[in-house]
Chain A
Amino acid sequence: MRNVILFIGRYLTFFTFLFLQIVSLWFLFSFNKFHQALFLQSANEITGGINKEYKKLENFFLQGEENRRLHLMNDSLLNLLSHQITLPDTTRQLVTDTLVIDSSRQYRRYYFRPASVVYNSTNSEKNYIQLDRGSIHGIAENMAVLNADGSAVGIVVQVSPRFSQVMSLLHVRQKINVALQLTGDFGTLEWDGKDPGLLLLKGLPKSVLVKLGDPVVVSRYSFNFPPDYPVGTVAEIINDKGTNFYLLKVKPAARFNRLQHVSVVENLQYAEQATLDREARKKIDDTKRSGQ
């Protein structure tokens, strides 16, 4: 026993090293597994405060470009106002109401909340963005994030009371459902961690006609994102002989190292859609299993 204690005492530095190394690796790997770690929540509150102050300074120098983006967005919204459109003749209109259900009643599907970016990176293979809005402002996980000009940026993966963490499109685990604007055919958008200026679009069948410069938008099948918001443009078409699918390189519409003000978009039916999807899969998988 005495020898054991002497042995440990002699190599105490090395054992301290082993212990601390295990602690830090445990932090690292438990985080990677679940995308989130409890300790990041408290850390977000501290580093978030510092990041916010720094971003205030940086934003001062970038106001011009941000104003231009907002102006473009406002212009496009003004064009959608109903009083910009007149009907040629509204006096003679035959209306036969045959519907039992009042189809003019609308319900809201998406809710936009403004937020500012306080920390952002594009250099890593796993890039996250930090926003200055958190759970007390109504932000929750799985909400989509759009840039000031409407282009897709990422998905919220973790919230603390006052800050939230967004997994950027520049993250090797990010997968979102996108479509070609012209034809509506959809595929999956991923990133290979190499060039932050090029995303990958996979799963688009070769029967679709694709040209360089074709706009890519968020697919209407996405649970998180509202449909038809721009994602990017086709920059390179790789014709893989081995499969029936294209591999497209997409130039992102959002400039990820210039993010300032973003919108966090809540799909008000997200919970219902996600639950239905999960339940349906479970049901089918279970009957298959019991049938065998």
Chain B
Amino acid sequence: MREIIRNLLRLALFVFIEVYLLQQMPHLHRFISPSLYFLFLLWLPFSISPRNLLWIGLITGLVIDYFLQSPGLHASACLWLCLFRPFTIGILAPRVNSEFNYREPSPQSLLWAPYLVYIFLLTLVHHTWLVFLEWLSFGSFSDFLIKIVASTAISILLIIPIELLFPRNLSSRSNAGR
């Protein structure tokens, strides 16, 4: 229950930042469009089943779409991210052992290097699909490639300070009964 409320508040916060901060401030350059809201999906607990993850991804994307007036655009990109998330975690997470009992992906639970790879891969998937859909209706191919690289880079540049500034207090499950 506490977990659900925590994640709902987190979603509200990310939507607010995305809609009223990142989309409102004038962009540095037309290729660089920062985006952060998908960090909500990256931070979801390990325990969610892949199928439920897809539904959560769809809903998160649609909430953003409702605010940014682009129905389906972010939802579609979130679905790709949610499809790949379990695979990426499967590859990067330490092999199952008794020590591993963290709730959700974080630099502490996955360790820094695998966590950065995790962030990088899924951000890339998300932005590639997002920019691809925009490019379908408009733009040139070189713009498309540059925009993917630039947007991914700026998003990761934003995510790393957030991870450093707000270390999530992850009491592992074994300590819960203290």
Using CB atoms and an 8 Å cutoff, list the residues of chain A in contact with chain B: 12-14, 16-17, 20-21, 23-29, 31-32, 37, 39-40, 43, 46-47, 50-51, 54, 119-126, 128, 130, 165, 172, 193-196, 257
Contact = CB atoms under 8 A, between A and B. Distances in A.
A16 B69 CA distance: 25
B51 interface: yes
Contact of A193 (B70, B73, B139): B139
Majority DSSP secondary structure for residues of B touching A: helix
Contact of A12 (B51, B62, B65, B137): B51
Nearest to A21: B79
A126 B20 CA distance: 17
Interface string B23-62: 1101100100100000000000000001100110110011
A165 B69 contact: yes
Given A20-B55, A20-B58, A32 B137 contact: yes
Given A17-B83, A20-B54, A25-B76, A123 B69 contact: no
B86 to A, nearest CB: 8
B133 interface: yes
B107 interface: no
B141 interface: no
Contact of A119 (B27, B54, B67): B67
17 contacts: A13-B50, A13-B51, A13-B54, A20-B58, A24-B62, A24-B76, A25-B76, A28-B72, A28-B73, A29-B72, A43-B71, A46-B66, A54-B20, A119-B67, A120-B24, A124-B70, A194-B30
A25 B72 contact: yes
Nearest to A256: B26
B138 interface: yes
Contact of B134 (A20, A125, A128): A125
B75 interface: yes
B68 interface: yes
A40 B26 contact: no
Interface string B67-93: 111111101100110110000000000
Contacts of A194: 30
A43 B72 contact: no
Q: What are the nearest 6 A-B pairs in CB distance?
A: A27-B72, A28-B72, A24-B75, A24-B72, A24-B76, A27-B71
Contacts of A39: 71
Given A125-B134, A257-B26, A28 B70 contact: yes
B26 A24 contact: no
A40 B23 contact: no
Given A54-B20, A128-B69, A195-B30, A16 B76 contact: no
B138 A125 contact: yes
Contacts of A165: 69
Contacts of A172: 138
A257 B138 CA distance: 23
Instruction: Identify the interface centre among A17, A25, A39, A196: most chain B CB within 10 Å of its CB.
Output: A17
A27 B55 CA distance: 16
A17 B79 contact: yes
Nearest to A57: B20
Contact of A26 (B69, B72, B82): B72
B113 to A, nearest CB: 28
Contact of A40 (B50, B55, B71): B71
Instruction: Identify the interface centre among B72, B133, B134: most chain A CB within 10 Å of its CB.
Output: B72
A204 to B, nearest CB: 24
A123 B70 contact: no
B129 to A, nearest CB: 10
A125 B20 contact: no
B53 to A, nearest CB: 9
Contacts of B83: 13-14, 17
Nearest to B61: A24
A46 B66 CA distance: 9
A29 B23 CA distance: 22
